[in-house]
Structure formats: C-alpha cells, structure tokens
Amino acid sequence: MTQALNVELPDVLLGFAKDVFKSLGKPVIIPPEVIARIDRVIDESLVTTLLDVRERERAASPEALKLRIR
C-alpha cells in the first residue's frame, strides 16, 4: 500500500520536529503558524471532509423516517 503526501516541509517545522527527538522526554511547544502550515497541507489533500460525513450520516430519506416499525 502506498501512503504518500508529496509536500515539502518548511525548514522551521523540520527544526522543531528535530528538537522533539533531540532531547527525548522534554516537551517542545510548536508555534501556531507552523501548525497552520501543516493544516493547510491537510486541507488541500483531504477529499473526505466533515461535511461529507455529515451529509452521509444525516441524509435520511423521508421514506425511512416514515417507515412504520412494529
């Protein structure tokens, strides 16, 4: 199975990411702008969105809602 995301990570993120593993056990705070950068990548890549899921789960047909259950 191929798992691929063809995106270059910004140097600033790589710097923070390497810090996390340089000193194991020590918390590192990731700045919001770095997280926002990753989230932009995700937003551009995801096909299935929360709205798709809501549409799939909630779109009950009137026929199903009126089905008499006895």
Q: Is 38 in the site for another protein (CB under 8 A)?
A: yes
**Judged by CB under 8 A, does residue 40 bind another protein?**
no
> Which residues, other chains included, contact 17 with Cβ-Cβ below 8 Å and sequence gap of 6+?
9
- Output the six-digit token pair for 11: 């140097």
State the nearest-atom distance from the C-beta of 47 to another protein, in Å. Answer: 5
Contacts 24+ apart (CB under 8 A), 23-27: none
Q: Which residues of this protein are in contact with another protein, per CB under 8 A?
A: 1-9, 13-14, 16-21, 23-32, 35, 38-39, 41-42, 45-54, 56-61, 64-70
